[in-house]
Structure 1
Amino acid sequence: MPHYFSTKSEAVLAESMEHTVSAKGGQFKELALENTDNESVNEGFSEKLAHFLTNPFIIPLLLTLASVGFVIELFSPGFGLWGLAAIIAMILFFYGHLVAGTAGYETVGLFVAGIILIVLELFLPGGIVGALGLFAVIGSLFMASGNLIHMAVSVLVAVTASILVSILYVKVFDRKMNFFKRMILTDQANTDKGYVSNQNRLELIGKQGRAMTDLRPSGTAVIEDERVDVVTEGSFITKGTLVKVMKTEGSRIVVREVT
């Protein structure tokens, strides 16, 4: 009887421990599921946003918005909504690829460096700096992409859209880029505005004077008590010879020997 009682007690104790372990295990499982649900809630929005921004149909839209916004901003005075839209589009592009893991901070740095080089090209001659900047920008886009073919198509769509918008502004709306108008002198100096390149001495035509130097064929003569630089019609005239002004062409005064 004592042996039977001991065996039964052990069986009851074992069964009790099994229920306890099962209950604890259930609590641990519920706690783990709860933590997993919290993590999925916390990370779900950024992951879903990254999946949306890296969609093959969304990438060309972001790049097109950025390029078209930049082009329109060049035709617009000051900095406006289109420039802001272009910046936001590129931020969303790189944010989505950073979260998705296809791009790193070095890719963003290469893109920023390319933009800086392109801006410097506007102030530096040669074109080498601008070409390096363009290659850096395009290279950063391909580095951020997980699919080179999709990125090539997206870049082609964005470039085509920006070219069409530029043609539309120039040919249809007859607009000029305000940014380049600040850098390029567009004013013309003409006679209608009172500008003259050289003073035309028409009043000297027919006047006579004397050569102060030998005219071989150019030299100096005194005409009506004024010392002027003159040139002959090709012949040699010695110093002190009486000369007559035949015509003037700007600052060029043509004389002939008076016989």
Structure 2
Amino acid sequence: MIRSRSIGIAIALLSLLLPSAAARADISSVSSPTTDIAMQPAAVVVISGTIDDVERDSFMRRFAKARAAGAKTVIVEIDTYGGLVTSALEMSRYIKRQDKEGVRTIAFVRDKAISAGAMIAFACDEIVMQPHAQIGDCAPIMYRYGSVDAMPPTERAKAESPVLADFLDSAQRNKHDPKLAEAMVVLGHSIRFVENTAGERRIVNDDGFKLLAADGWKVVGSVIDPINAADKLLTIHSATASAIGLSSGEFGSREALAKARHLRIADTFEPTLGEEILGWLGTTIARLILLVIFILSLKIALSAPGHGAPEAVALVSLSLLLGIPLLTGYASWLEVTIIFLGLALLAFEIFIFPGHFVSGIAGILMIVVGLIMTFAGNEPSGPGVLPNMNGTIAAMQRGLLVVTLGMVCSLILWFWLSKYLPKIPYFNQMMLMPPGGDPTMMGALGADIVWPLVGQTGKAMTDLKPGGSAEFRDETMNDSRPVSVVTEGAFLRAGTDVTVTESRGSRVVVKAANA
């Protein structure tokens, strides 16, 4: 009796436990796919540093590689203070065309997306930000005499038009409030974040808030008020951007963002070493160094032509000074033409018609103006010849400072080198040395020494047509050295024996020795 009762109780307990175990098995089989969601491949394309034509081309090339690798989501990591508006406009349009390719873009503002960086972020399908990052400030402002000046209405409309149009287009496509776009580009827009008793929230300006306040709308207490004052350009941090809906959230890293979006970062496309070197060569300090090298090597080449090395250094430094701005979009062939015309006028002053200074001064001014112009990029819709946008004016001021500082540094270095070059092998062959080799006597003797002497015979090192180089013996060096010469109009081939007919300053006139 007892045994049969125990068996019955055991059977009853088993009948209760089996359904629950089966139910747990069903739950486990249903929930397992959701806890192990397949991670979709994504790629990261990094934008950092100054936005220019090189960065534009690099970004488009790297983005195309990411798309070719099969990425359907591209995280555009942005950390920039901006740059050329024209380059940013092209990058923005390129990003917005990716919808047709089936590629989704997420802007990840790592530290800052200012000016052109904000434009690029707005073009992406979604914006997320690193904690404490900021975004905004993309208005054309005119600077005069170091302070902000008001643009005339027509000029302001021309400068703002393409920038504002792109921002508004991005806002409409990606469901951002257009008031935020306008406040980033145009002064005079106040922004406030309000809510009603039902919890509905809106972004309004001052006039809109006055109308809604009568219906019980109030400022959202957790957000600073106003978000933007009418006399400022909208620039907001990550917390505010998330609160008002501009940003979808804050993430500490690209990996955290990818995990939250169920993405797997398959590739990261950063600028190459060559692009980083190119970017460094375009910095202010690099261009200052190149300018000093160019001026010094040009001075040495003009003082003692024919050695080859100074001419080569001058050519390379000038090529970098002009080539880098051409590649990055800060210069056009206009600036290059102005600089080469200035060099031609300077050469005319030195070799053809010295002493009148008109062509020399004009040449120096053209070189200086051309170099300054290479620091400023094109404006998207310029109101005229003179620049009006904030970045353009600031860039030209920086260019003026760099060129002036470069000329001063070159002058100081030239006096210093004049003291020590005679002691350095090879370079002492370019310097005029008195008998005994005492370089301290150079200054005292320099005014009395005339070389080559009238009537002295030498040999043409290059074709003289009519200018070129000829080699004459210098007894102070017990060797021969070259000098720039010009004929009286005749064409003489290299190797022809020549005789000095006039020697005055840097002007040395020769004729064929057998003439």
Q: Please state if 1:154 is matched with 2:472.
A: no
1:185 is paired with a residue of what secondary structure?
Answer: strand
Asked if the contact 2:304/2:483 (under 8 Å) is kept, the reply is: no
**Distance (Å, rounded) in 1 between the aligned partners of 2:403 and 2:66:** 48
1:57 is paired with a residue of what secondary structure?
Answer: helix
Asked if the contact 2:304/2:484 (under 8 Å) is kept, the reply is: no
**Distance (Å, rounded) in 2 between the aligned partners of 1:165 and 1:91:** 22
**Distance (Å, rounded) in 2 between the aligned partners of 1:151 and 1:107:** 13
Q: Please state if 1:127 is matched with 2:357.
A: yes
Q: Please state if 1:144 is matched with 2:374.
A: yes
Could you tell me which residue of structure 2 aligns to residue 32 of structure 1? 67
Q: Please state if 1:100 is matched with 2:348.
A: no
1:102 is paired with a residue of what secondary structure?
Answer: coil
* TM-score of the two chains, using structure 2 as the length reference: 0.27
Deviation at 1:185, TM superposition (A): 1.6
For 1:188-199, what aligned pairs fall within 5 Å after superposition?
none
Asked if the contact 1:103/1:145 (under 8 Å) is kept, the reply is: yes
RMSD of aligned Cα (Å): 4.0
**Distance (Å, rounded) in 2 between the aligned partners of 1:74 and 1:31:** 51
Q: Please state if 1:49 is matched with 2:272.
A: no
Q: What letter is aligned with 2:398? A: H
**Distance (Å, rounded) in 2 between the aligned partners of 1:158 and 1:88:** 17
Deviation at 1:157, TM superposition (A): 2.7
Q: What letter is aligned with 1:60? A: L
* TM-score of the two chains, using structure 1 as the length reference: 0.50
C-alpha distance after superposition, 1:6-63 (max 9, x if no partner)? xxxxxxxxxxxxxxxxxxxx7999971538999x68x845642331111111111000
**Distance (Å, rounded) in 1 between the aligned partners of 2:291 and 2:370:** 13
Deviation at 1:114, TM superposition (A): 1.0
Instruction: Please list every run of 5 or more consecutive structure 2 residues that lacks an aligned counterpart in the other structure.
Output: 1-39, 44-64, 75-265, 377-394, 420-438, 452-480, 487-501, 506-515
Structure with larger RCO (C-alpha < 8 A, sep 6+): 1
Asked if the contact 1:50/1:95 (under 8 Å) is kept, the reply is: no
Asked if the contact 2:349/2:357 (under 8 Å) is kept, the reply is: yes
**Gap change, CA 1:181 and 1:106, over 3 Å in 2:** closer
Asked if the contact 2:322/2:374 (under 8 Å) is kept, the reply is: yes
Q: Please state if 1:79 is matched with 2:114.
A: no
**Distance (Å, rounded) in 1 between the aligned partners of 2:404 and 2:442:** 26
Asked if the contact 2:372/2:403 (under 8 Å) is kept, the reply is: no
**Distance (Å, rounded) in 2 between the aligned partners of 1:150 and 1:172:** 39
Deviation at 1:164, TM superposition (A): 2.6
1:145 is paired with a residue of what secondary structure?
Answer: coil
**Distance (Å, rounded) in 1 between the aligned partners of 2:335 and 2:361:** 18
Task: Report which of the two has the higher share of strand.
Answer: 2
**Gap change, CA 1:112 and 1:179, over 3 Å in 2:** farther
**Distance (Å, rounded) in 2 between the aligned partners of 1:94 and 1:114:** 14
The counterpart of 2:442, out of the listed 142, 167, 174, is 174
**Distance (Å, rounded) in 2 between the aligned partners of 1:73 and 1:166:** 13
Task: Report which of the two has the higher share of helix.
Answer: 1
Asked if the contact 2:305/2:484 (under 8 Å) is kept, the reply is: no
Asked if the contact 1:117/1:129 (under 8 Å) is kept, the reply is: yes
Deviation at 1:182, TM superposition (A): 4.5
1:174 is paired with a residue of what secondary structure?
Answer: helix
Structure having the higher Rg: 1
**Distance (Å, rounded) in 1 between the aligned partners of 2:289 and 2:441:** 25
Q: What letter is aligned with 1:185? A: S
Q: What letter is aligned with 2:401? A: V
**Distance (Å, rounded) in 2 between the aligned partners of 1:107 and 1:69:** 21
C-alpha distance after superposition, 1:213-239 (max 9, x if no partner)? xxxxxxxxxxxxxxxxxxxxxxxxxxx
Asked if the contact 2:339/2:366 (under 8 Å) is kept, the reply is: yes
Asked if the contact 2:305/2:483 (under 8 Å) is kept, the reply is: no
**Distance (Å, rounded) in 2 between the aligned partners of 1:181 and 1:165:** 24
**Gap change, CA 1:121 and 1:77, over 3 Å in 2:** closer
